[in-house]
Amino acid sequence: MKMMVTGATGKLGSLVVEKLLETVPAGDLAVSVRNPEKAASLRDRGVDVRQGDFDRPETLDRAFAGVDRLLIISADGDTETRIRQHQAAVAAAKRANVGFIAYTSAPNASESSLFLAEVHRVTEEAIRATGIPYSFLRNNWYLENETGTVQAILGGAPWLTSAGSGKVGWAARRDYAHAAAAVLAGSGHENTVYELSGKLLTQEELAAVLAGVLGREVPVQQVDDETYAGIMSGAGVPEFVVPILVGIQKGIRDRTLEVVSGDLEKLLGRPVTPLSEGFRQIVNEIQS
At 192-243, the pLDDT tens digits run 999 999 999 999 999 999 999 999 999 999 999 999 999 999 989 999 999 9
Q: Mapped to the 3 state alphabet, what secondary structure does 52-83 carry? A: CECCEHHHHHHHHCCCCEEEECCCCCCHHHHH
Report the pLDDT value the prediction gives residue 233, as an integer from 0 to 100. 95
Contacts of 15 (CB under 8 A, 6+ apart): 173, 174, 177, 178
Looking at every residue in the chain, the average pLDDT score rounds to 97
Report the pLDDT value the prediction gives residue 111, as an integer from 0 to 100. 96
What is the pTM assigned to this prediction? 0.97
Report the pLDDT value the prediction gives residue 176, as an integer from 0 to 100. 98
At 59-89, the pLDDT tens digits run 999 999 999 999 999 999 999 999 999 999 9
CATH of 3-143+171-197+260-271, one of 3.90.180.10, 2.60.40.1930, 3.40.50.720, 3.10.20.30: 3.40.50.720
At 22-44, the pLDDT tens digits run 999 999 999 999 999 999 999 99
For the chain, domain boundaries: 3-143+171-197+260-271
At 96-135, the pLDDT tens digits run 999 999 999 999 999 999 999 999 999 999 999 999 999 9
Report the pLDDT value the prediction gives residue 250, as an integer from 0 to 100. 97
Report the pLDDT value the prediction gives residue 25, as an integer from 0 to 100. 97
Q: Say what percent of the chain tops pLDDT 70.
A: 100
Residue 184 — very low, low, confident or very high, per pLDDT cuts 50/70/90? very high
Residues 271, 262: Cα–Cα separation, whole Å: 10
Average pLDDT score over residue span 7-14 = 97
Report the pLDDT value the prediction gives residue 133, as an integer from 0 to 100. 98
Report the pLDDT value the prediction gives residue 256, as an integer from 0 to 100. 97
Residues 170, 206: Cα–Cα separation, whole Å: 9
